[in-house]
Amino acid sequence: MPSSTYTARRSELETYFDRTAVEAWTRLTSTAPVGRVRATVRAGREAMRNTLLSYLPDDLTGRRLLDAGCGTGALAVEAARRGAHVTAIDLSPTLVALAAERASGRTGPGHVDFLTGDMQDPALGKFDHVVAMDSLIHYKAPDVVAVLAGLAARTRHSMLITFAPRTPLLAAMHAVGQFFPRGDRSPAIEPVAERRLARLVAAGLPGWQPGRSRRIAAGFYISQALEVCRR
């Protein structure tokens, strides 16, 4: 069962991404011109998406992939082009509708089912791979590991996530963000030290272990990829 902290944060994220920030995210994830700060975020997200895709097999024909927190669907489309059957899920109905519209006719030999809901829903079935790009960075580390434990029971090969690394720069950016009016703030990220997350994964996911890892730092975008694999 989801913890109370997970449930409360999930509600905040649903409101933020489906109402407060939908226009900004629509623009950020398009090719429309953006300001200097958002341009660094766009570049960082592209680099992170390419990193996570590089951790997947080049040929995904016949494999099932869960894109947990799919946003506007860019990663799901690329996985489908490699032949994957992708279940792409997000809390925001508005972003999911936009993702489906953008994906139309672009999925190549694969297929994408776009859904609105919670990535933890057991009804989604079993998968070969799970990708959660920047969708767990708002949750506390124990909640992240609890989500992974639930997904691990339904995943055959690997889970690829991103987390907010605990760095002085990220801490400073987080502190500055608290001065913005409450209505303009995105839900706070939860920085975590890589070693601590690795320990929690090792303790909370028997039969799994941390694999490849890479930090992406592009201006105002700082996030770290982590591969979690079956032993």
| pLDDT at residue 158 is higher than 60 | yes
54-104 confidence digits (pLDDT tens): 999 999 999 999 999 999 999 999 999 999 999 999 999 999 999 999 999
Three-state SS letters, the chain: CCCHHHHHHHHHHHHHHHHHCHHHHHHHCCCCCCCHHHHHHHHHHHHHHHHHHHCCCCCCCCCEEEEECCCCCHHHHHHHHCCCEEEEEECCHHHHHHHHHHHCCCCCCCEEEEEECCCCCHHHCCEEEEEECCCCCCCCHHHHHHHHHHHHCCEEEEEEEEECECCHHHHHHHHHHCCCCHHHCCCCCCCECHHHHHHHHHHHCCCEEEEEEEEEEECCEEEEEEEEEEC
pTM (predicted TM-score)? 0.90
Q: Give me the pLDDT at residue 12, please.
A: 87
Q: Give me the pLDDT at residue 180, please.
A: 42
Q: Give me the pLDDT at residue 124, please.
A: 97
